[in-house]
Structure 1
Amino acid sequence: MTRLPSLAAGLLALAPLLPIAATGQGAPPPTNAPSPAETNPLPTTTVPDTSRSGPDPAAPAPQQVPIPRPAQSGAAPSLTPPPSTLPTLVPNPGEANDVDEVTLPAKPVAILAGETKWEEARANLRASYKTIGETLAKLGLKPAGRPIALFTKTEDDGFQYEAMIPIEAAPAQAGETNGVKFGSSPSGKALRFKHSGTYEEIDGTYETLIAYLDAKEIAVQDRFLEEYVTDLGEGTDDKLDINIYALPK
Structure 2
Amino acid sequence: MGETTDLTARPAAYLDGRAGRDEVYSAIIGAIGLVRTEIGKAGLKPVDHPIAIFLEADDSGFKFRAAVPLAGAPDGKTQLSDAVKIGETPVGKAMRFEHRGAYDDIDGTYEAITAYLDEKGVDAQDVFVEEYLNDIKSPEDPNLQVDIYVLLK
TM-score normalized by the length of structure 1? 0.59
User: Which structure 2 segments of 5+ residues have no match?
Assistant: none
> How far is the alpha carbon of 1:224 from its aligned partner?
1.2
Question: Corresponding residue for 1:198?
Answer: 102
Question: Corresponding residue for 1:185?
Answer: 89
Asked if residue 230 in structure 1 is aligned to residue 134 in structure 2, the reply is yes
Amino acid at match of 2:67: M
Contact 1:189 1:247 in 2 (8 A): yes
Q: Give, in whole Å, the separation in 1 of the partners of 2:76 and 2:116.
A: 43
Contact 1:135 1:178 in 2 (8 A): no
Deviations 1:74-108 (A, max 9, x none): xxxxxxxxxxxxxxxxxxxxxxxx21111111111
Residue 75 of structure 2, aligned match among 148, 164, 172: 172
User: Which structure 1 segments of 5+ residues have no match?
Assistant: 1-97
Instruction: Point out the structure with the larger strand share.
Output: 2
Contact 2:102 2:139 in 1 (8 A): no
Amino acid at match of 2:7: L
Question: Corresponding residue for 2:151?
Answer: 247
RMSD: 1.2
Residue 221 of structure 1, aligned match among 122, 125, 128: 125
Asked if residue 212 in structure 1 is aligned to residue 145 in structure 2, the reply is no
Contact 2:103 2:139 in 1 (8 A): no
Asked if residue 112 in structure 1 is aligned to residue 15 in structure 2, the reply is yes
State the percentage of identical aligned residues: 39
> How far is the alpha carbon of 1:238 from its aligned partner?
3.7
Contact 2:12 2:88 in 1 (8 A): yes
Relative contact order higher in (CA < 8 Å, ≥ 6 apart): 2
Q: Give, in whole Å, the separation in 2 of the partners of 1:183 and 1:237.
A: 31
Q: Within 5 Å, which residues of 2 pair with 1:107-186?
A: 107-176=10-79, 177-186=81-90
Deviations 1:44-63 (A, max 9, x none): xxxxxxxxxxxxxxxxxxxx
> How far is the alpha carbon of 1:175 from its aligned partner?
3.2
Determine helix, strand or coil for the equivalent of 2:22. helix
TM-score normalized by the length of structure 2? 0.94
> How far is the alpha carbon of 1:164 from its aligned partner?
0.4
Determine helix, strand or coil for the equivalent of 1:119. coil
Greater Rg by CA: 1
> How far is the alpha carbon of 1:235 from its aligned partner?
5.6
Q: How many residues align?
A: 152
